[in-house]
Amino acid sequence: MDASRDLSSAAHWATIRPGLIRVPDPHASPMQGEQTASPVVAYGTDMPANAYIPPHTHRRAQLLHATAGVMLIRAENGSWVVPPGCAVWVPPAVFHDIRMANQPVAMRTIFVEPGLRPSLWPHCQVIEVSPLLLQLILAATGLPLDYPGGGRAERIMTLILDEIEAATPLALHVPMPAHPGLLERCRALIAAPAQAVSLAAWAQDMHMHPRTLARLFQRETGLNFGNWCRRTRLLLAVPMLVSGASVLEVALAHGYDSPSAFSATFRQHFGQPPSAYQQGRASASRR
């Protein structure tokens, strides 16, 4: 995507939900990581609950990590949920917005000069933050942006890149279709995940045969309809879980009739029950 494109042209996918607090991009200043002499720098900022950073892009790649709180990153081709213990890689020149869940977020960012590590992802990707990577990020945010080369600071930044390359990718991504009719309906489900949906109903609304819509959905998102809806609801449930909502509250808010059905599906997708995510991820953020 052309990085020179005006931000306003991304407004067709950037909607602000009621209750969100619109804030300026805290990383927009060149003095905060975009134009430094060092090719890798770290920057930390604390964001209030429900803060919203509108669509923007960066010349440099970013690794976005929250040592506390949950972020939701959205670009034109999908959305990524980033709970504590995880980070998202955002390549250079990718338009994206950032929403904080309903609790404060301690955002820590690593800026990386384009092309410095060609092996890193050309697309947004959520990764697991190892204990070593977490400590390196915390150490890096305590360094000046104009740190001298050839010393400890440079070695920390080099090791951060090594750890990003070695990190485990996580399936915390909701791919979005390009087809206008599908995109409209997918956005509606994301905005109100408790609503009942079915392939047959969507097909009727779009004047398609259900089999035709099923093929279109698979082609546009890489997932079948049921898997896409299930993944979307589960990922949207993570911020509520981390913020302390009960499993019952979260289940009902995301279209499940019972907490047991939600818990079973959650465990199947994440390999852990919702209660472990509530406690384990929260404790990881305090390490």
Provide the pLDDT for residue 29. Answer: 53
- Span 193-222, pLDDT tens digits: 999 999 999 999 999 999 999 999 999 999
**148-202 pLDDT, tens per residue?**
999 999 999 999 999 999 999 988 888 889 899 998 999 889 888 999 999 999 9
Q: Residue 66 CB: number of other CB atoms within 10 A?
A: 26
Longest dimension (CA), the chain: 64
pLDDT category at 284 given cuts 50, 70, 90 is very low
pLDDT in tens, 66-88: 988 888 898 888 888 888 789 99
In angstroms, the CA 16 to CA 260 distance is 32
pLDDT, residue 281, reads 46
What SS3 class is residue 200? helix
Higher pLDDT, 272 or 63: 63
Task: Give the pLDDT score at 72.
Answer: 86
**Amino acid identity of 21?**
I
The residue among 281, 280, 191 whose CA lies nearest residue 232 is 191
Q: What is the pTM of this model?
A: 0.76
**For the CA atoms of the chain, what is the radius of gyration?**
19
SS3 153: helix
Query: Residue type for 38, please?
Result: S
Model pLDDT, residue 70 = 84
Residue 199 CA: distances (Å) to CA of 194, 205, 211: 16, 10, 9
